Structure 1
Amino acid sequence: MIPEKIIGFYRTRFQIEFGIRDAKQFTGLQSQQTRDKARLDFAFNLSFTALNVCKEVIRKDYPDLSVAQFKRLMFESYLASTIISTCGKSPHLKIIQKINHRLAQLAA
């Protein structure tokens, strides 16, 4: 077998393994408790779709972040918006932009 073909096989294998690892860590691939095949198929498809969307957003908008950092940034942004909306007052747009910018710096 030629070396380029072997390298291609291993490259594909590691892409599959890393995809499964990321799906387990970040999108809840192991959280399903069902035994029904159709529900498992749906859960697996949902998990891998969420991972692919996440990686595409990272590639386009946040190329320096890892999946873990992006997940943290999204959680912190959600938490900040929840706190702001719970306070009852609407802060100025500049304050919200400053908070989002600071969260992006913390995630990186």
Structure 2
Amino acid sequence: MRIVVCPVENAEPLLYFSTDTNMRPEKIIGFYRTRFQIEFGIRDAKQFTGLQSQQTRDRERLDFAFNLSFTALNVCKEVIRKDYPDLSVAQFKRLMFESYLASTIISTCGKSPHLKIIQKINHRLAQLAA
């Protein structure tokens, strides 16, 4: 068994294990990082994009639903990366919901939401979400 020890500043060192004794330490760490990214992606898809909400048992429909869930998560993360880098996925989801709610309230009052007003509301909501 191969053990890779990674020192962490002000914390216990991280230990990574591999049964391939010939594997380079960088590759072992890379595999662990990839694995954690996959696990975080699945966790986020379950929490924020309805990965576990399907009621069908049809294989094609499940495949479509899973792909849609992960696509929505990736689009969400890309928008966050570009436009709202200080927000988490949960904060961004709340921001989008609140923006939609504000637009709905304004339009329900018989007013056509003006783009500048919506932008101001979105900006303020983003400040509150951060």
TM (norm. structure 2) is: 0.77
Q: How many residues align?
A: 108
| Secondary structure in structure 2 of the residue aligned to 1:33 | coil
More strand by share: 2
Larger Rg: 2
Contact 2:45 2:51 in 1 (8 A): yes
Shift of 1:107: 1.0
Q: Alignment identity in percent?
A: 97
Which runs of structure 2 are paired with 1:1-108 in the superposition (5 Å)? 1-90=23-112, 95-108=117-130
Cα 1:88/1:49, change in 2 over 3 Å? same
Residue 93 of structure 1 and its aligned partner are, at CA, apart by: 5.4
CA distance in 2, matches of 1:31, 1:93: 34
Shift of the 101–6 alpha-carbon distance from structure 1 to 2, 3 Å rule, reads same
Unaligned ranges ≥5, structure 1: none
Q: Distance in 2 between matches of 1:48 and 1:31?
A: 13
Classify the secondary structure of the residue corresponding to 2:113: coil
> How far has the Cα of 1:13 moved from its partner?
0.4
Task: List 4+ stretches of structure 1 deviating above 6 A.
Answer: none
CA distance in 2, matches of 1:96, 1:36: 41
| 5+ long unaligned stretches in structure 2 | 1-22
- Aligned equivalents of 1:93, 1:66: Cα separation in 2: 25
Further displaced range: 69-78 or 87-96: 87-96
- Given the two structures, how large is their TM-score scaled by the length of structure 1? 0.92
